[in-house]
Chains A and B, each alone.
Chain A
Amino acid sequence: MATEFHNLQELRHSASLATKVFIQRDYSDGTICKFQTKFPAELDSRIERSLFEETVKTLNCCYAEAEKIGGQSYLEGCLACATAYIVFLCMETRYEKILKKISMYIQEQNEKIYAPRGLLLTDPIERGMRVIEISIFEDSGSTSSSSTGSPSSGTAQ
């Protein structure tokens, strides 16, 4: 297995950051946190569509669960209100617990799927829950041209 993908901890070679792709929020369901599952063109040659969609869908599910208004959130809300919100000094909110879970999931996805393909997911919480930032790394052993011409075309003014 180690030869199929590269162990992050072992390799110490220089890599070049070619570009970053941003997966935007999907607001069609309101203000709940949901990301678009549209497959960006820049990732076309780097990762399978199904893997990418799987990741985004799982993230969307997790966020939906965190923001769900139901029995447990009501209980937590009422308890907190009754204690003048002091309870949150000792207890973690459900949302925070799920965010931690998401963080672990992203780390796991990075290690298993994305890093071997020269990609890296950034936890959306680092970007204000606005985008999923995917950094695309170039193989420095190859020629220095970046994977797609699109970032450079943006400079033409």
Chain B
Amino acid sequence: MTGNMHLGVEEPIRECQYNQICTHNSSPMDTPHTKKKKIKRKWQVFPGRNKFYCNGRIMMAKQTGVFYLTTVLILVTSGLFFAFDCPFLASNLTPAIPAVGGVLFVFVMGMLLRASFSDPGVLPRATPEEAADTERQIDATNGPSGPGYRPPPRTREVVINGQTVKLKYCFTCKIFRPPRASHCSLCDNCVERFDHHCPWVGNCVGRRNYRFFYLFILSLSFLTIFIFAFVITHVILRSNRTGFLSALKDSPASVLEVVVCFFSVWSIVGLSGFHTYLISSNQTTNEDIKGSWSSKRGKGNFNPYSYGNFLTNCCAALCGPLPPSLIDRRGFVQPDTPQPAAQTNGTGACPSNQVQNHMAATNPLLHSQPIILGGGAPLQAKTSLGGPCSTLGPSQASLPSSIPGLSCGGELMALRDSEIHCHHHLHHQHFISPEETPSPPAALPCATHLGHNVHPAQVFNPASQDSLHEDSVRGLVKLSSV
């Protein structure tokens, strides 16, 4: 009789009792519980290794040193150009030169900052329920694993436009990655349409900021060539009047500019050319380096994402719709109901535990009424979260149960990730094939990072797990203070 409601049959209201389910947006400020506690924004509990500034508006990678170098190089070179070369050029040739230079410079800086500061298309980690559901599906597909049995790597195959594409399972984010997504080991996030991690820009380059990155390198090529050409012109014009050596003495900055521009122009123009090729064939750097769509892999291998012609591919990459960020950085972390530790009573029915299991608006948000997690405990057992309903064995609850079982779904999942990693290690004996490693960044100017990332067993490196563990403990301490 449970839940058997047929259309047209009127059931008395008292039989089906549902709590007030709020389908409207609710502000966390409404909750009386939060008045004493400080409400955190989601960026403060973000599980990846990103840095946030301006209260979550700006998002960058952890290592930003090279980005500052890029900015300084551009600012100094352009500054010197405007200060020392432009006055001469404006008066002797045309004032359009500094004007065009100015526009180019502003555009370059704008695109650089936009590429560096925006969310590249990070995929939020799976909520505990979603992860449990995925695990269940994987176990169902693979069959029961006895002791010593090695389950195959977790993949799903999907046919896209006639081409078979393998979707890989991300052990960190607990999701099957969408096609073209990849996990960046530096930022510890899965990024949609992952191109590469660029240290010059201080961020990953993915779906949401690829066009800014491309426009940045394209306009920077123009700016570099522009400065180079006009500084040379300036020196030549001066030497015509006063001789070469005295021209150099009169404008020493020009030497520095020429040197900087000469060395940068090769790599930047080369990179622009490379990315123009990638855009026109609708590939990512990642795919190109791995040779995913090259004909060498197989006779029928082709790129299923290409629109067929160069123009449509370009327009799609540069003028297509810009999807919004999926990781609501500035949203508020929903305040938790009283800690489950105080409420755990060890009975199977979990009668009075209050669990919050949503992230925002349209989820059932029960401010004042308790939710009884009837079927919930078994769900928790699978992911060994040791939630409020402690029907689980003591070995499962490896982290203090003062952590609210299901709050901030994905974030909490990530914080406990290292623990669960270890658990899965023991229980399922995963052996990740080298293919499943987080993909290494591009071998181009971002070559500096190749050294760190190519080790196939990196995910299970005890040292990194220890540091992850440390991070997760720190994160837990942070969360439990909410």
One of B17, B180, B362 near A120 (C-beta < 8 A)? B362
B174 to chain A, nearest CB (A): 11
Check if B10 sits within 8 Å of A12, measured CB to CB: no
The answer to whether A141 and B178 touch (CB under 8 A), given A120-B363, A135-B364, is no
Question: What 1/0 flags go to B179-194 for Cβ under 8 Å of A?
Answer: 1100000000000110
State the CA gap A155–B377 with chains docked (Å). Answer: 9
- Number of interface residues, chain B, beta carbon within 8 A: 86
Check if B316 sits within 8 Å of A22, measured CB to CB: no
Residue B324, interface by CB 8 Å:
yes
Grouping DSSP codes into helix (H, G, I), strand (E, B) and loop, the B interface class, with mixed when no group exceeds half, is loop
Residue A6, interface by CB 8 Å:
yes
Check if A141 sits within 8 Å of B17, measured CB to CB: yes
State the CA gap A80–B211 with chains docked (Å). Answer: 11
One of A66, A106, A137, A146 near B321 (C-beta < 8 A)? A66
State the CA gap A48–B8 with chains docked (Å). Answer: 12
Closest to B371 in A: A17
Check if A11 sits within 8 Å of B2, measured CB to CB: no
Question: What 1/0 flags go to B385-403 for Cβ under 8 Å of A?
Answer: 0000000000000000000
Residue A8, interface by CB 8 Å:
yes
State the CA gap A84–B109 with chains docked (Å). Answer: 10
State the CA gap A140–B124 with chains docked (Å). Answer: 33
Check if A93 sits within 8 Å of B364, measured CB to CB: no
Query: For B7, what are the chain A residues with a Cβ–Cβ distance below 8 Å?
Result: 48
Check if A106 sits within 8 Å of B158, measured CB to CB: no
Residue A69, interface by CB 8 Å:
yes
One of A27, A129, A135 near B165 (C-beta < 8 A)? A27
Check if B16 sits within 8 Å of A6, measured CB to CB: yes
Query: For A73, what are the chain B residues with a Cβ–Cβ distance below 8 Å?
Result: 319-321
Check if B370 sits within 8 Å of A106, measured CB to CB: no
The answer to whether A122 and B362 touch (CB under 8 A), given A13-B17, A17-B376, is yes
Closest to A74 in B: B319
Give 16 CB contacts A-B under 8 Å: A3-B10, A8-B22, A14-B372, A15-B364, A16-B371, A30-B179, A68-B321, A74-B315, A106-B362, A117-B3, A123-B362, A127-B124, A128-B175, A138-B375, A139-B2, A141-B17
A residues sitting closer than 8 Å to B (CB atoms) are 3-4, 6, 8-20, 22, 25, 27-31, 45-46, 48, 66-69, 73-74, 76-78, 80-81, 84-86, 88, 93-96, 99, 103, 106-107, 110-111, 115-118, 120-123, 125-131, 133, 135-147, 150-152, 154-155, 157
B residues sitting closer than 8 Å to A (CB atoms) are 1-5, 7, 10, 13-24, 106-107, 110-111, 114, 123-124, 126-127, 129-130, 132-133, 135-136, 139, 158-161, 165, 167, 175, 178-180, 192-193, 212, 215, 304-305, 312, 315-316, 318-324, 326-327, 349, 357-364, 369-376, 378-379, 381-382, 410, 427
* Further 7 A-B residue pairs, CB within 8 A, beyond A77-B321, A81-B319, A85-B212: A30-B160, A76-B321, A77-B322, A128-B326, A128-B327, A133-B129, A138-B375
